[in-house]
Amino acid sequence: MTSKTQKLLSLLDGQPVIPVIKITDAKDAVPLARALARGGLRAIEITLRTDAALEAIRRAAAEVEEAVVGAGTILNARQFEEASKAGSQFIVSPGITSQLLSAAADSPVPLLPGAITPGEIMAAREAGLDFLKFFPAEQAGGAAFLKALSSPIADVRFCPTGGIGAKNANDYLSLPNVICVGGSWVAPDEMVKAGDWAGIEALAREASKLRKA
C-alpha cells in the first residue's frame, strides 16, 4: 500500500458510502455537507459538473469542519489544481491520464482515479496506484466483474461508482477488493433543491450502517 493510498484511506476512515454530489447552487453546499456528516458520512465528493462546484467546495471545506471534502469528475491537471486550491482533500477522476498522474505526483492531495479494464488497472498499478475508482460500475459489468478481478489482480482495491444504490450496495461491499462505494442516492437532486436536509441526514444515516462483510 502506497503512502498516498494510506492517506486517502485515512480520510475516508472506513466509511462504506461516499456521497457523490452535484451542486447547482453554492449556498446549498454547507447545509448539505453538515446533513451528510450528521448522518455519519463525513467524506463527500462534490463533482465538477456544474458552474457552482468550485465555490461549493470552497464553502464546504472552509465552513464545515467535520466534513472531508473531495472533488470529483476531475479531467485534467488544471482542474486538479483548481480543486486543490479550493480546499479539496482528495481528488476523484473517472479515468487516468499522464497529465493527471503528473499533477498528483506533485501534490500532497491524493488521487482516486478510475480504471475499468484489466489493462487500465495494470497500468495504474505500475504507476503505484493500488486504490482505484471503478466507473461506471453497473454498466461496466458490476459486482460480478469486480469479483472476477479479485483473484488475478488481488492487490488492487476499488471504490465502485455508477448505478449503485441502497439495493445493490452490499453486492459490492461484500467483495474482498472493494473498500467503499460511491453513490448519489444519499443526496438526490430533488431533495437538495428542496433543502430537505433532515431527509438527506436520514438517508446518510441508513447508508452509514452499511458495512464491509
* Mean pLDDT (the chain, rounded): 96
What is the rounded CA–CA span in Å between residue 184 and residue 158? 17
CATH number at residue 173: 3.20.20.70
213 found inside a domain: no
Position 4 scores a pLDDT of 86
171 found inside a domain: yes
Radius of gyration of the chain (CA): 16
At 202, phi and psi to the nearest 5? -65, -40
* Count of domains observed in the chain: 1
Q: What is the pTM of this model?
A: 0.96
Query: How many residues in total does the chain contain?
Result: 213
Containing structural domain, residue 197: 3-208
Cell numbers standing for residue 53:
462546484
Q: What secondary structure does DSSP assign to 88-132, as a single string? A: -SEEE-SS--HHHHHHHHT-SS-EE-B--SHHHHHHHHHTT--EE
What is the rounded CA–CA span in Å between residue 140 and residue 157? 16
> Which residues have a catalytic role annotated?
45, 133
Q: Which tens digit of pLDDT belongs to each residue from 116-172?
A: 999 999 999 999 999 999 999 999 999 999 999 999 999 999 999 999 999 999 999
Position 1 scores a pLDDT of 77
139 found inside a domain: yes
104 found inside a domain: yes
201 found inside a domain: yes
pLDDT at 55 over 60: yes
pLDDT at 51 over 70: yes
